[in-house]
Structure 1
Amino acid sequence: MKTPLHSLLFLLLLLLSGLTTQTKAQTVYTVTGLVTDAHTGDPIPFASVALVGRRSGTLTDEKGRFSLVVKILSDSLAVSSMGYKPLRRAIDPERVSQAVDFKLESGGNSLQEVTVKAGENPAWRVLRQLRKNRSINDRKRLAAYEYDSYVKTEIALSHVTDRMRKNPLIKRINEAMSKHDSIVDKEGHRVLPLLASESVSRYYYKANPERKREDIRKTRIKGVAVDDAGLSSQLLGGTNLVSQNFYDNYIPILGKDFASPVGDNWKNWYEFFLADTTQIGDHICYEIQFDPKRPEDLAFTGKAWIDTTSFALCQIETRIGKGANLNYVSGLTIEQELESTIDSSAGASATAGWLPVSIHLNADLTGVGKQSLGLRAKVILRNSNIVVNKPRPTLFYEQPIEPSDTVAISNEAYWHTVQRTLAGADSLNKDDQKTRQVIEKLRAVPAVKMAEAVGQVAVTGFYKVGGFDLGPYPYLFAVNSVEGLRTRIGFRTNEQFSRNWILRGYLAYGTLDNRFKYSGEINYLFSRQHWTIAGVRMADDLERLGLTPELIGGNRIFYALSRFGRYRGGYHSQQKEVYFKTEPVKGILLTATLGTRTFDPVFPFHYRLQPELGEQSPLQSDIFDAYWSIEARLARKEKYLMDGNERITLGTKRAPVLTIRYTHGSQALGGQYNYDRFNLRAQQTFRLGPLGRTTYLLSAGFTPSTLPAPMLFPHIGNPTPLLTTNTFNRMQFYEFVSDRFVAVHIQHRFEGLLFNRIPGIRKLNWRLIANVDALWGGQRKANRDVESFKLLPGGTRPIYFGSLDGNKPYMEVGYGIDNIFKIIRIQAIHRLNYLNDSPNGLPLNSFALKASASISF
């Protein structure tokens, strides 16, 4: 299914090979003036002079004079100095040269006493007091809050290089666009707009139990490869993109954890300078400037303004520079303005925690190489109509993001009201309107339409044709020793077909085995709010022991690659299932399944039907299983987006995801065996402060029943040269099988902790990774007796499944370097034990170097 931003992102990847910055003649503006004491007329030296809304400024000299030379002017100039009241004066943003004088009045506000110890940075005292008052000022102290939110998002391509102009796509775009369509940013660079949107929502938060909800009221959007305003409003509306709380110790940005300049560990990461006091709104604030101790660290440069009375964070400006160990980001700024709130439950006008009322986020992204294309993104958010400490019933928060039925319906009168009441000066202006017109014209270019289609297929795996999506493309072709050339075509329906009925299926054929394979599934979606769905599926296909999509956790690429080459452990499987899923409470998904499946191996294998008879037991190769199962998946704090009939998870913010399943095999349903099976799976990512991030996957299984080896737990090995996490990378396919096991995969990313401190290497932005994989397991004697070692007809030796020693875990350790050329990971893997030849005579090597590729920030 084509989703908003997916094809847009791939279009960027198509272009990220190189558009040289086009500049126009720069206009230079000069503002000069004199700053004096209003009563004495004496000049005020070293006063701060700054453009309001810009990060351009200067200081007065010893005679109180200043000269500010900039490329862009704002509409006013602000001057502040210790002991004086701040003063703003309007200026003409169109005049090239102008003079403005300031006469400052003595400050009438008394500051709280700040005791500075000998040899101590005076900013430290302020920061300690800020952390002490966090319990009073942090928004987390609020029992509940809600507010109206306006968000404007703009995305454009920038830095069009000479090399990129030779790109056929760019040439066709330039031919289609006239000079009147050119848009130049405030720095004089020509940009190519890709997306412009604005959204209005009502955001709700409750602390105990923690619940969130966002009602998307209206969205209007124009963008390349963006059609669905419903999903776009969820991605671009409200607090999804800009919800950073700087009182936290670490700020998550682009999958990385940046140390907060006002967090508990401020002294370890930053250098501080107490610059001055200045007025922010109705508050007299300390201005503290900060810089990272090491430019490569995940830390900010910027300024914070802290109220001199309450020591609350009033405003903060942060930016991430090119030196930070962050891929594809040449610059990123976050600006927040916060205001204290009124406790609606207190009866009187009691102040409560501080909430952000204005947030600006600007990002400049680049590709790989000096000639790469640039991407510029800008997000502006304004919050108003705030109500605090009036929690709603818990059930009210069950739907985390709820788009209005009329979210995409045009209503100009509504947006005029928004401009007056919510957005103000940040609403779509004349330049924004031109941007929307250029995007509309850009989308009509045939080459862009083709790029959208390619992006749709490459990112989603499917090509949309009306109410059907064809794909996914990774499964189209494969070549292996059983099927020869395997071809497959699949489909699924989307919301244009039906918002309740969902159909999926595929047909495959192998040229060597001359056999058709297929799968078909019908689902009915009862509820999106509580995600209730029922379905029936049937399949007949060639699978590989231990590598079904269920066992490998939906890793589509690994599953597709497993169909190439020598097909060890292959078997034909016919499966029929009926199932029902529902989420009665947010974060708890329940699934019930009833089904049958067959196991018909294409490798030499048989087992004893009556193991108590030993070698006299009759033998059989195939298995017929009938079963029912119940499963509970617990994912606290998990966030979802609705993409038509698909539900997309955004993760759980490092809370664990726990899955528990019980399966019962039943002869009463026609199966060969009565058995019980228990499965548990838990995974989580959490941060260890400056030490980096750790991810673990814990899985366990137990069956007290006596069964053939394929019905137990074949462990997932990976003898290929490709590194795949959450597998045993030095174990052969189905080398070990257990009837009880506990497996743990632990991976730690040190980010730039070590390499950022090594001269020469730190400029490469390499990142150290380490992993430990362990497996405890074994088989009872009753299950080992089921296996037979008799030669098959024709004298073929049967496959033997190994068993672990219950007192000795299988162990692997690894270490490697990630982020080589920003995409490559090289990892060394050591197998520490079970070093004899594998049970099937395959030689073992305790050490291997493996590689993988991924795109991440």
Structure 2
Amino acid sequence: MLLWLVLSVAVTATQAQTVYTVTGLVTDAHTGDPIPFASVSLVGRRSGALTDEKGRYTLVAKILTDSIAVSSMGYKVSRRAIDPERTSQAVDIKLESGGNSLQEVTVKAGENPAWRVLRQLRKNRSINDRKRLSAYEYDSYVKTEIALSHVSDRMRKNPLIKRINEAMSKHDSIIDKDGHRVLPLLASESVSRYYFKANPQHKREDILKTRIKGVAVDDAGLSSQLLGGTNLVNQNFYDNYIPILGKDFASPIGDNWKNWYEFFLADTTQIGDHICYEIQFDPKRPEDLAFVGKAWIDTTSFALCQIETRIGSGANLNYVREITIEQELETTTDSAGSSTTAGWLPVSIRLKADLTGVGKQSLGLRAHVTLRNSNIIVNHPHPAAFYEQPIEPSDTVSTTNEAYWHTVQRTLAGTDSLNKEDQKTRQVIEKLRAVPAVKMAEAVGQVAVTGFYKVGGFDIGPYPYLFAVNSVEGLRTRVGFRTNEQFSRNWVLRGYLAYGTLDKQFKYGGEINYLFSRQHWTILGVRVANDLERLGLTPELIGGNRIFYALSRFGRFRGGYQSYQKEVFFKTEPVRGILLTATLGSRTFDPLFPFHYRTEPELGDQSALRSDIFDAYWSVEARLARKEKYLMDGNDRITLGTKRAPVLTIRYTHGAKSLGGEYNYDRLTLRAQQSLRLGALGRMTYLLSAGYTPSTLPAPLLFPHIGNPTPLLTTNTFNRMQFYEFVSDRFVAVHIQHRFEGLLFNRIPGIRKLNWRLVANIDALWGSQTKANQDVESFKPLPGGTRPVYFGTLDGHKPYMEVGYGIDNIFKIIRLQAIHRLNYLEDGPNGIPLNSFALKASASFSF
């Protein structure tokens, strides 16, 4: 929400920032001789300097920490305290001789000397990688800052910006370390305890405390989970690929380092207590998803001690000027009492992102995340039940407690805690939120992102369903609501009312849920709906694709029917990753299109005919999502997806005359979907679905397959199939999409500058109907001579197939895709002529 909100805001005047200077002399503690070219750096920062030939140094920084560290080859590292509030001070340091020596490095003729170091690093990965640990836990302090940047003079003429300028004084400006004017939008601090266990892998994070000041951000709840803990900064560079913004970047120390990077062994230097090789790396092709930076590798253990990486504007990414990631790692020892090294864990991580809109001169968003880990315990796992809740905010997560934060600053955050500039940032945010124009922008941003407008304990919406125009209802208007946690933390109410100007009919829906448990996600609910639906396009059949469902209400409303549905359901998650649902319900089918079926198909044409259906049923469903991550948003649970594991859904439905229905039947459905990271080859997603019913039923109670004859491209549908063109009583369908993420286009001169990306898909459907089910359908004309709608049947030995290919990321939002229908090319049902080819488009925002 912040990304689009900030495109409406800007800053005014400048203000000079304090510059701190530390000078001094570095000498040998025994001889008193000056030490030239010694490294002098701020502890916890990247600011530093080298001594000159006479051992003197001058260190200039815009922010000081509480100490400096001095190192030089052959000497022990020395740390000296400094006053972070003094603008000018002199500190002399004497270094003691050290006994460290480097391992011998053998360089083969014609070989890059950095390669030998990297080979040793990969060889020793099993010793140094954190994945070797059976368990670990630590306290984390996270500071997040987000600000608006790159404000042009033209943008300052915007009416909204003018109002902000009138409300903000010159003293409210913030200048970053690069001299750019920025307007802060968010400043947060968070403390959490993070737990990890291997074999099987489990994670848990307890958010202990947060304090957040921001535009369009609440102080607790979802914000504390998104901004607290290690959600944003937990990259492991020992992995072959590093996921960032939904893309996979090749790690400079992964198995494929030689294929992606050029390396240079620059120097040996001291990092903390470790003498390290400094290796610089650059991508072989700037357009590839790869880093620029430096890595420091311990000369004895060949472990990664420190790494600085940068993603530049040349990479095939949208809305990114630059991203930097810096990590410092330290050795750990077994908490059972052993003094041997157990592995390396990150103790300090910094992530900086400089994002932009469309165009080089557009407004930007700058984010800075700082993380510090301490109080580390390794190889001391907890029972499996302990890890069931992955992110657990404390009940007092956002309550004010200044004494607590003073303690955090002394014991955990150190110099990374809020300084004077951070305090000023929070004051500017408070003043900014009081500007009426910003309050309005907050409300607009909230509606744009969530689809709802919050009014106390009620959310009004969602806006995609507000209007529709179709051939049955004319202009359809709908208003809806849901309650939020301010209304109740247990009771959840939802409802809507719709009206069509052409059919002059009211439609409605309502639902009442009671939330028994958040940890095991246990809900009891009742819902009722009386509305116009479309055959094959109910929310259940399209897998929750709400945008497609909303768009399906526009235009010619083929396959429409009136439905009155009532359900009682119970959901619970007894074990993490397994959600069980039981449902009892009934529904009606009253078609608005010419259709009838035989009530006694064994009589053939002598059978009575009927159009409407009443169905009563019960069902049980199991959803298996191993390693799925969730965030709690009030009374809703938002999934963050699974990691390298499919999501499986199995449902059994039984139709029962004993419940008042017209048919006894059995139905089994299966659904599996997954996103596969294929490294350099891009990402592949698949959706596999299957269904089977051995019962004899009218076509609407079987499986109408989802076609999409509209010009809009919709994934996980058959884009060259007509609505309800085919119906089956047993089927298997697969939808596969692959995004090459610039793999091919990056290597074509001229095209690679456009940041286009190749996409491809294949969709296949195997289905059939028994003769008994085919005999239920009637082809007799309806009263008045109207020809009834015909439902097609697939040949069980001949799958329906489509293939597609196209270009994604045109103007950063547009996707054009060619779709070919490979078979079943004769005229479709009801005499609709078929075209085997179509060019479709869609729009989406992605990095």
Same fold, judged at TM 0.5 (above): yes
Residue among 155, 170, 177 paired with 1:179: 170
Return the alpha-carbon distance in structure 1 between the equivalents of residues 275 and 572 of structure 2: 53
Q: What's the counterpart of residue 360 of structure 1?
A: 350
Return the alpha-carbon distance in structure 2 between the equivalents of residues 544 and 133 of structure 1: 60
The AA in structure 2 aligned to 1:225 is A
Map 1:776-787 → 2, pairs under 5 A: 776-787=766-777
Return the alpha-carbon distance in structure 2 between the equivalents of residues 750 and 81 of structure 1: 47
Give 1:103 deviation, angstroms: 9.2
Question: Does the 8 Å CA contact 1:28/1:69 hold for their aligned counterparts?
Answer: no
Q: What's the counterpart of residue 646 of structure 2?
A: 656
Residues 445 and 533 (structure 1), Cα distance of their counterparts in 2 relative to 1, 3 Å cut = same
Tell me the TM-score normalized by structure 1.
0.93
Q: What's the counterpart of residue 562 of structure 2?
A: 572
Question: Does the 8 Å CA contact 2:3/2:365 hold for their aligned counterparts?
Answer: no
Q: What's the counterpart of residue 796 of structure 2?
A: 806
Q: What's the counterpart of residue 413 of structure 1?
A: 403
Question: Does the 8 Å CA contact 1:148/1:202 hold for their aligned counterparts?
Answer: yes
Q: Deviations over 1:666-714 (max 9, x none)?
A: 1111111111111000000111121111110100111111111111111
Matched length: 846
1:122 aligns with 2:116: no
Give 1:583 deviation, angstroms: 0.2
Return the alpha-carbon distance in structure 2 between the equivalents of residues 485 and 421 of structure 1: 63
Q: What's the counterpart of residue 713 of structure 2?
A: 723
1:266 aligns with 2:245: no
The AA in structure 2 aligned to 1:11 is L
Give 1:649 deviation, angstroms: 0.6
1:785 aligns to what SS in structure 2?
Answer: helix
Give 1:208 deviation, angstroms: 2.1
| Cα RMSD, aligned residues only | 2.8
Map 1:347-426 → 2, pairs under 5 A: 347-426=337-416
Q: Deviations over 1:137-167 (max 9, x none)?
A: 1111111111111111111101111121112
1:11 aligns with 2:5: yes
Between stretches 177-186 and 743-752, larger displacement belongs to 177-186
Q: What's the counterpart of residue 829 of structure 2?
A: 839
1:202 aligns with 2:187: no
Residues 433 and 98 (structure 1), Cα distance of their counterparts in 2 relative to 1, 3 Å cut = closer
Q: Deviations over 1:612-642 (max 9, x none)?
A: 1111110000011011000000001111111
Question: Does the 8 Å CA contact 1:21/1:161 hold for their aligned counterparts?
Answer: no
1:229 aligns to what SS in structure 2?
Answer: coil
Question: Does the 8 Å CA contact 1:22/1:160 hold for their aligned counterparts?
Answer: no
Question: Does the 8 Å CA contact 1:532/1:583 hold for their aligned counterparts?
Answer: yes
Question: Does the 8 Å CA contact 1:58/1:66 hold for their aligned counterparts?
Answer: no
The AA in structure 2 aligned to 1:614 is G
Map 1:101-140 → 2, pairs under 5 A: 108-140=99-131
Q: What's the counterpart of residue 3 of structure 1?
A: none
Residues 492 and 77 (structure 1), Cα distance of their counterparts in 2 relative to 1, 3 Å cut = closer
Question: Does the 8 Å CA contact 1:80/1:277 hold for their aligned counterparts?
Answer: no
Give 1:526 deviation, angstroms: 0.3
Return the alpha-carbon distance in structure 1 between the equivalents of residues 314 and 628 of structure 2: 33
The AA in structure 1 aligned to 2:831 is G
Question: Does the 8 Å CA contact 2:213/2:219 hold for their aligned counterparts?
Answer: no
Identity %: 87
1:469 aligns with 2:459: yes
Tell me the TM-score normalized by structure 2.
0.95
Question: Does the 8 Å CA contact 1:81/1:277 hold for their aligned counterparts?
Answer: no
Residues 96 and 417 (structure 1), Cα distance of their counterparts in 2 relative to 1, 3 Å cut = closer
The AA in structure 1 aligned to 2:594 is P
1:227 aligns to what SS in structure 2?
Answer: coil
Q: What's the counterpart of residue 561 of structure 1?
A: 551
Q: Deviations over 1:762-795 (max 9, x none)?
A: 1111111111111111111111111000000111
Q: Deviations over 1:65-97 (max 9, x none)?
A: 999998868678877776676778999999999
Q: What's the counterpart of residue 504 of structure 2?
A: 514
Question: Does the 8 Å CA contact 1:81/1:276 hold for their aligned counterparts?
Answer: no
Question: Does the 8 Å CA contact 1:331/1:364 hold for their aligned counterparts?
Answer: yes
Return the alpha-carbon distance in structure 1 between the equivalents of residues 55 and 825 of structure 2: 79
The AA in structure 2 aligned to 1:199 is S
Return the alpha-carbon distance in structure 2 between the equivalents of residues 416 and 54 of structure 1: 21
The AA in structure 2 aligned to 1:565 is G
1:849 aligns with 2:839: yes
Return the alpha-carbon distance in structure 2 between the equivalents of residues 468 and 73 of structure 1: 45
Give 1:112 deviation, angstroms: 2.2
The AA in structure 2 aligned to 1:116 is V
The AA in structure 1 aligned to 2:615 is D
Question: Does the 8 Å CA contact 1:638/1:652 hold for their aligned counterparts?
Answer: yes
Q: Which ranges in structure 1 are unaligned for 5 or more consecutive residues?
A: 1-5
Return the alpha-carbon distance in structure 2 between the equivalents of residues 664 and 64 of structure 1: 88
1:110 aligns to what SS in structure 2?
Answer: coil
1:290 aligns with 2:284: no
Return the alpha-carbon distance in structure 1 between the equivalents of residues 485 and 577 of structure 2: 24
1:790 aligns with 2:780: yes
1:161 aligns with 2:162: no
Give 1:190 deviation, angstroms: 1.6
Question: Does the 8 Å CA contact 2:17/2:175 hold for their aligned counterparts?
Answer: no
Question: Does the 8 Å CA contact 2:17/2:62 hold for their aligned counterparts?
Answer: no
Residue among 229, 239, 253 paired with 1:248: 239
The AA in structure 1 aligned to 2:427 is Q
Question: Does the 8 Å CA contact 1:21/1:160 hold for their aligned counterparts?
Answer: no
Give 1:9 deviation, angstroms: 3.7
Question: Does the 8 Å CA contact 2:77/2:272 hold for their aligned counterparts?
Answer: no
Map 1:754-773 → 2, pairs under 5 A: 754-773=744-763
Q: What's the counterpart of residue 634 of structure 1?
A: 624
Map 1:611-622 → 2, pairs under 5 A: 611-622=601-612
1:702 aligns with 2:696: no
Residues 182 and 547 (structure 1), Cα distance of their counterparts in 2 relative to 1, 3 Å cut = same
Q: Deviations over 1:794-834 (max 9, x none)?
A: 11000000111111111111111111111111111111111
Question: Does the 8 Å CA contact 1:484/1:511 hold for their aligned counterparts?
Answer: yes
Give 1:12 deviation, angstroms: 2.6
Q: Deviations over 1:425-472 (max 9, x none)?
A: 111111111111111111111111111111111111111111111111
Return the alpha-carbon distance in structure 2 between the equivalents of residues 509 and 29 of structure 1: 67
Return the alpha-carbon distance in structure 1 between the equivalents of residues 17 and 410 of structure 2: 34
Question: Does the 8 Å CA contact 1:457/1:463 hold for their aligned counterparts?
Answer: yes
2:399 aligns to what SS in structure 1?
Answer: coil
1:748 aligns to what SS in structure 2?
Answer: strand
The AA in structure 1 aligned to 2:383 is P
Q: What's the counterpart of residue 474 of structure 2?
A: 484
The AA in structure 2 aligned to 1:283 is H
Question: Does the 8 Å CA contact 1:20/1:163 hold for their aligned counterparts?
Answer: no
The AA in structure 2 aligned to 1:361 is L
The AA in structure 2 aligned to 1:372 is S
Q: What's the counterpart of residue 430 of structure 1?
A: 420
1:840 aligns to what SS in structure 2?
Answer: helix
Q: What's the counterpart of residue 225 of structure 1?
A: 216
Residues 153 and 57 (structure 1), Cα distance of their counterparts in 2 relative to 1, 3 Å cut = closer
Give 1:118 deviation, angstroms: 1.5
Q: Which ranges in structure 2 are unaligned for 5 or more consecutive residues?
A: none
Return the alpha-carbon distance in structure 1 between the equivalents of residues 17 and 191 of structure 2: 37
Give 1:349 deviation, angstroms: 2.2
Q: What's the counterpart of residue 332 of structure 1?
A: 323
1:505 aligns with 2:499: no
Return the alpha-carbon distance in structure 2 between the equivalents of residues 834 and 66 of structure 1: 83
Residue among 748, 752, 761 paired with 2:742: 752
Return the alpha-carbon distance in structure 2 between the equivalents of residues 71 and 387 of structure 1: 35
